[in-house]
Structure 1
Amino acid sequence: MANQIPPRTGNPESDAQRRLLGPIHAERHVRIICVGAGASGLLLAYKLQRHFQNYSLTIYEKNPKISGTWYENRYPGCACDIPAHTYTWSFEPKPDWSAVYAGSKEINQYFEDFAQKYHLHQYIKPLHEVSGAYWNEKQAGYDVHIKDLNAGTEIVDSCDILINASGILNHWKWPAIPGLHDYKGKLLHTASWDDNVELKGKHVGLIGNGSSGIQVLPTIQPHVSKCTTFIREPTWVSPVQGLEQHKYTEEEKQDFVGKPGALTEYRKNVESGLNAQFGIFLKGSQINSETSDYMKELMKEKLHNQFLEEKLIPEWSVGCRRLTPGVGYLEALGEENVQVVYGEITKVTERGCVCDDGNEYPVDVLICATGFDTGFKPRFPIIGPGGANLQDEWAKQAESYLGVSAAGFPNYMLFLGPNCPIGNGPVLSAIETQADYMLKLVDRWQTHNIRTFSPTKAAIQDFVAHKDFFMKRTVWADPCRSWYKASAVDDTVTALWPGSTLHYIEAMQELRLEDYEIGYAGNRFAWLGNGYSQTELDETCDWAFYIREYDDDLPITKDGKRKLLTRSGTVTNHSAPVGITGAAQPKI
């Protein structure tokens, strides 16, 4: 096409000459490899397909099917812990969710339907696991090593830009308990569930009261003869006010389909409610205090047990760990066939668990709901210029640029990297923001003769310093055990963004190229091309588009653009954000 130029040759002078074949901003071919076909990888494929022309994309996925964590996690009760109508892409609603908190099978199907609708499978190679990525200086890209899990062979592919969409909740781990694998009964992990195991009528042991354990217990409790659940620390378990579980009626679902605007209005109300809750995470805010009081009373009401109230209701602030709605969990703890053992498991024997009370608790089946390795260290070597390995760089503490890139690793980006808003609010909104940001960089690479781009160390150091300063005033810094932190309970917060999800969306609207080291393929102005504009080579364009009867320009200022984008002036019933003029109440 007239506005495109052939792929690079690897020779800067030759490539610069090729630029003269096309007009200003001619799009050179870009080859992208993406690791992972979960939510992020699928969105990347969709947006590339929608907005770009001169590209090639391959997504390598280690599983036989797409959807990432929603394909892998199928333990009893597995569900999303935020409302389902906010767990969709902003442009792709689903009117027939069964309930506020939908199960993993429904969510998996949503992403399957999304991929089918937009023909995204054409980009995906399942059962292909990336084992390493190595910077190729001559080609200014990565040689990516991939294991073909079907054939048992290794292949090598190359790309100009490498995008890691493998996520952080995909590398499960057994708990570090002595003797765990000496156990002679059936040992299960929630993230590697065996559907063939029958729990009905069995005495089941359940280790953990994080999100997975909280979902498992009420699901299996009615069917097992007994469940002994091992809990070592308190946690806040209850939906935030206004976000309680609800099963949608057929009438409601029909309204979502048939009444114009009904579903959009409902989705906006739920999303606005979640966005209004950022004040929960700020120490000393009114909304945090009121939410703590509300959840404490709700937990007491559901537990009806003074011992459990004393052990399970935390002293640390609401939000220090990820909030879990815990549908039916607290009630299940009080059922006759549930035994709560509070404390540390000192070892596992052939029969069951020995705890720090000195007792052994034999069980027929032992379920470990102990989560994932949530460190940001890549699962495979990523070798940059000079041989640096990002695994080593991020071994102790991961530091990224705005959650999407790393210093010293050019042409590499990742979804849900360190200090992005994975727990600050609606996560799919953040993923959309990251995809848009990445593709702005891809567009810049394509149209401005860029050879390499990577954030500077100075920019990342300044970002991390600002983040650490901000985190001091949040509940995330409280002394609780949380995967939000690098390691210890008092360690730096590495998983969360220093602000709200809306704050992140606004921060990522524009590229700050002053924060990047940019290398060019020859003359940096080669993108000026052959002297022609794109406009005059398009015979369908108005070649005098700037001649008007009045000034209808879009806003130039950042504030003007924000007001236009967010439809400022059209909404009058929001409460003011906490910390500005008052307390924002969570409401749906």
Structure 2
Amino acid sequence: MADFLVPGRITPHDDAERRLNGPIHAERHVRIICVGAGASGLLLAYKLQRHFDNFSLIVYEKNPEVSGTWWENRYPGCACDVPAHNYTWSFEPKLDWSAVYASSKEIFNYFDNFARKYRLRDYVKTHHQVTGAFWNHQKGGYDVRVHNIRDGQEVNDHCDILINASGILNNWRWPAIPGLKDYKGTLLHTANWDDNVELEGKHVGLIGNGSSGIQVLPTIQPKVKKVTTFIREPTWVSPVQGLEQHVFTDHEKVEFSSKPGVLTDYRKFVERGLNGQFGIFLKDSQTNSTTHAYMKSQMISKLQNPYLEERLIPQWHVGCRRLTPGVGYLESLGKENVEVVYGEIERISEHGCVCDNGQEYPVDVLICATGFDTTFKPRFPIIGPDGKNLQDEWKDSPESYFGIAAAGFPNYLIFLGPNCPIGNGPVLSAIECQADYMMKLIDRYQTHNIHTFHPKPEAVKEFIEFKDSFMKQTVWADPCRSWYKNGPTGPITALWPGSTLHYIEALQELRLEDWEVKYVGNRYAWLGNGYSQTELDPTADWAYYIRETDDDEPISRGRRRKLLTKSGTVSAQAGLNFAGDIQAKI
């Protein structure tokens, strides 16, 4: 038994042999490497620490701090478009958010404090960037190559299980506009912000009207001499009804912190509202039609400009692109020191932007709010047992299993991979769900003589077929330009075919029939020497199953779901029109 407690001593074949001398489900040591210490990587560390023994974990983070995108993004007005009290882990509320939509600095502090509270930094190596992972045929697992950014040294490491938590919105890119390098003014990207640049009194150019551009404009407009904002396409901008911006008063903060249940009730109210929005994404649903009419009226009211209304209010359905609250954005477009240029930028000159109307627009500072590489292709080579590189496999069409794994790449797991619910509803709830699923896989690996596990190719193929069929009925299939998909009419690669609650239920238990599992030695070596774990614990009740009443948890899925979701404890929830939409179709 002692060997199971000592990291690094046991080869896969040794493990299978020594299991025969130990009890059923002996817990071998598992070494895990995680790439990225953003929200997902920190949650992984927390879950492993809380639920597992006999493991080692190292989290390699390229930045000097944890929190990922919330450390990297510091541009003016940077905030989250999810209500702050619900941009937390379900088990770790924050009592004193300043407003419904909180700043990136506040969000960074939340995850930083989370890491400090639970000593998660003990697992993290900052200034270390993973540059490659290569399957080791002799040991199993991956040889991982890491670049120490501080001293330039290369580090070689090895793990049984590799987890990629590097995220989707962190690999920023310059716009593909000719002449960008010719510009002689100050050039900035929202995701690589220079805090030393002074904008006061400057003529600023702003490229992009995605989430970042929408946040930047109302923040800089009051203090700059002029803003010329370059917009090439319409987008829906307005808070969904009931989730408008609101600054919390001192009284509300006291209520949240001192009265039991007040904050939980508020969080549940908001979460129900977020989960009740999925109908927005179904074409011709009641929820979509209602939201479309509401947001169009809000945009007209805030723009007060027929020219801009005609160009900025989309013809496609609400939700085709990611919805953004856009606090103050539409109103800013009408300010005296704001000029809106609608159309394509043909090239960048030394002085500014030359547009398709033939006019040059000189600016002192040019801000590119042009987003990220959202192709899902890994940032570094991942070489599987057959020599294939996942970068090549996912170059054109990233196809995952439920957004967490790739066929042919064993012992490799992903947070927020292709076709997970990153835009379907509350995203942190989905990340928690993914982490729990990974814990179940790791537990299975640790307590059995498993050598490799990865999703079967046919399982991934059929999942993609189901996804593509489902997406035809969604607004995401409209011909808008969105990072959710590969081109305006291409397949939807970012989103889950259902709601976030749907995803959580889909991942509640392992479907091992979808996984290719290979063992070392006899697949039943985990049965061991005939003794149970209970018999090795002198403090355990060796007759624990003898009781006076049947207090077992429900065995059927339906009964378990009702118990878990506290069915019958909440009155009929208004506004959840999706349920009505579905019932009408059944």
TM-score by length of 1: 0.97
Match of 2:541 in 1: 542
Match of 1:311 in 2: 311
Match of 1:180 in 2: 180
- State, as a whole percentage, how many aligned pairs show the same letter: 72
Return 574-583 or 429-438, whichever deviates more. Answer: 574-583
Partner SS for 1:96: coil
Match of 1:336 in 2: 336
Q: Structure 2: how far apart are the matches of 1:226 and 1:575?
A: 45
Return 160-169 or 18-27, whichever deviates more. Answer: 18-27
Match of 2:458 in 1: 458
1:224 aligns to 2:224 (yes or no): yes
Match of 1:393 in 2: 393
Q: Point out where structure 1 has 5 or more consecutive residues left out of the alignment.
A: none
In the superposition, relative to structure 1, how do residues 8 and 121 fare at CA in structure 2: closer, same or farther (>3 Å)?
A: closer
How many residues end up aligned between the 2 structures? 583
Q: Structure 1: how far apart are the matches of 2:8 and 2:95?
A: 46
- Output aligned runs, 1:162-181, within 5 Å: 162-181=162-181
- Output aligned runs, 1:403-482, within 5 Å: 403-482=403-482
Match of 1:126 in 2: 126
- Output aligned runs, 1:132-531, within 5 Å: 132-486=132-486, 488-531=487-530
Conserved? CA contact 2:79–2:101, under 8 Å = yes
Partner SS for 2:294: helix
Q: Structure 1: how far apart are the matches of 2:480 and 2:307?
A: 21
Partner SS for 1:28: coil
Q: Structure 2: how far apart are the matches of 1:269 and 1:532?
A: 49
1:462 deviates by: 0.5
Conserved? CA contact 2:279–2:581, under 8 Å = no
1:256 deviates by: 0.2
User: Counterpart amino acid of 2:484?
Assistant: Y
Match of 1:557 in 2: 556
1:403-422 deviations in whole A, cap 9, x for unaligned?
00000000000000000000
- Output aligned runs, 1:90-129, within 5 Å: 90-129=90-129
User: Counterpart amino acid of 1:581?
Assistant: G
Q: Structure 1: how far apart are the matches of 2:11 and 2:166?
A: 33
Q: Structure 2: how far apart are the matches of 1:553 and 1:2?
A: 34
Partner SS for 1:481: coil
In the superposition, relative to structure 1, how do residues 578 and 467 fare at CA in structure 2: closer, same or farther (>3 Å)?
A: farther
1:16 deviates by: 2.0
Q: Structure 2: how far apart are the matches of 1:441 and 1:308?
A: 52
In the superposition, relative to structure 1, how do residues 130 and 509 fare at CA in structure 2: closer, same or farther (>3 Å)?
A: same
Conserved? CA contact 1:3–1:27, under 8 Å = no
1:9-38 deviations in whole A, cap 9, x for unaligned?
565543222113321111000000000000
1:238-279 deviations in whole A, cap 9, x for unaligned?
000000000000000000000110000000000000000100
1:351-395 deviations in whole A, cap 9, x for unaligned?
111111111100000000000011100000000012100000000
Q: Structure 2: how far apart are the matches of 1:29 and 1:465?
A: 38
1:183-240 deviations in whole A, cap 9, x for unaligned?
1000000000000000000000000000000000000000000000000000000000
State the Cα RMSD in Å: 1.4
1:3 deviates by: 11
User: Counterpart amino acid of 2:416?
Assistant: L
Q: Structure 2: how far apart are the matches of 1:561 and 1:4?
A: 34
Conserved? CA contact 1:577–1:583, under 8 Å = no
1:425-471 deviations in whole A, cap 9, x for unaligned?
00000000000000100000000111100001000001000000100
In the superposition, relative to structure 1, how do residues 3 and 290 fare at CA in structure 2: closer, same or farther (>3 Å)?
A: farther
Conserved? CA contact 1:24–1:531, under 8 Å = yes
In the superposition, relative to structure 1, how do residues 314 and 449 fare at CA in structure 2: closer, same or farther (>3 Å)?
A: same
Conserved? CA contact 2:3–2:9, under 8 Å = no
Q: Structure 2: how far apart are the matches of 1:583 and 1:222?
A: 46
1:582 deviates by: 4.7
Conserved? CA contact 1:576–1:582, under 8 Å = no
Partner SS for 2:580: coil
Conserved? CA contact 1:170–1:372, under 8 Å = yes
1:6 deviates by: 4.5
Conserved? CA contact 1:5–1:19, under 8 Å = no
Q: Structure 1: how far apart are the matches of 2:223 and 2:580?
A: 51
Partner SS for 1:172: coil
User: Counterpart amino acid of 1:169?
Assistant: L
1:60 aligns to 2:60 (yes or no): yes
User: Counterpart amino acid of 1:566?
Assistant: T
User: Counterpart amino acid of 1:507?
Assistant: A
1:4 deviates by: 4.7
1:574 deviates by: 1.2
1:39-63 deviations in whole A, cap 9, x for unaligned?
0000000000000011000000000
Q: Structure 1: how far apart are the matches of 2:459 and 2:209?
A: 39
Q: Structure 1: how far apart are the matches of 2:220 and 2:15?
A: 63
User: Counterpart amino acid of 1:73?
Assistant: N
Return 553-562 or 436-445, whichever deviates more. Answer: 553-562
Partner SS for 2:219: helix
Q: Structure 1: how far apart are the matches of 2:370 and 2:149?
A: 27
User: Counterpart amino acid of 2:544?
Assistant: F
Return 516-525 or 372-381, whichever deviates more. Answer: 516-525
Return 304-313 or 523-532, whichever deviates more. Answer: 523-532
In the superposition, relative to structure 1, how do residues 298 and 385 fare at CA in structure 2: closer, same or farther (>3 Å)?
A: same
Conserved? CA contact 1:2–1:22, under 8 Å = no
Q: Structure 1: how far apart are the matches of 2:454 and 2:129?
A: 25
Q: Structure 2: how far apart are the matches of 1:192 and 1:8?
A: 40
In the superposition, relative to structure 1, how do residues 394 and 13 fare at CA in structure 2: closer, same or farther (>3 Å)?
A: closer
TM-score by length of 2: 0.98
Q: Structure 1: how far apart are the matches of 2:206 and 2:347?
A: 14
1:575 deviates by: 3.7
Q: Structure 2: how far apart are the matches of 1:474 and 1:387?
A: 37
In the superposition, relative to structure 1, how do residues 256 and 174 fare at CA in structure 2: closer, same or farther (>3 Å)?
A: same
User: Counterpart amino acid of 2:370?
Assistant: T
In the superposition, relative to structure 1, how do residues 117 and 11 fare at CA in structure 2: closer, same or farther (>3 Å)?
A: closer
Conserved? CA contact 1:146–1:154, under 8 Å = yes
Q: Structure 2: how far apart are the matches of 1:507 and 1:287?
A: 24
Partner SS for 1:115: helix
1:581 deviates by: 3.1
Return 14-23 or 283-292, whichever deviates more. Answer: 14-23
1:2 deviates by: 7.4
Q: Structure 2: how far apart are the matches of 1:10 and 1:86?
A: 43
In the superposition, relative to structure 1, how do residues 158 and 190 fare at CA in structure 2: closer, same or farther (>3 Å)?
A: same
In the superposition, relative to structure 1, how do residues 113 and 119 fare at CA in structure 2: closer, same or farther (>3 Å)?
A: same
Q: Structure 2: how far apart are the matches of 1:2 and 1:383?
A: 34
Q: Structure 1: how far apart are the matches of 2:217 and 2:495?
A: 28
User: Counterpart amino acid of 1:335?
Assistant: K
Conserved? CA contact 2:61–2:127, under 8 Å = yes
Q: Structure 2: how far apart are the matches of 1:456 and 1:403?
A: 14
1:536-562 deviations in whole A, cap 9, x for unaligned?
111121111111212111111111111
Q: Structure 2: how far apart are the matches of 1:535 and 1:164?
A: 35
Conserved? CA contact 1:287–1:583, under 8 Å = no
1:529 deviates by: 1.2
1:521 deviates by: 1.5
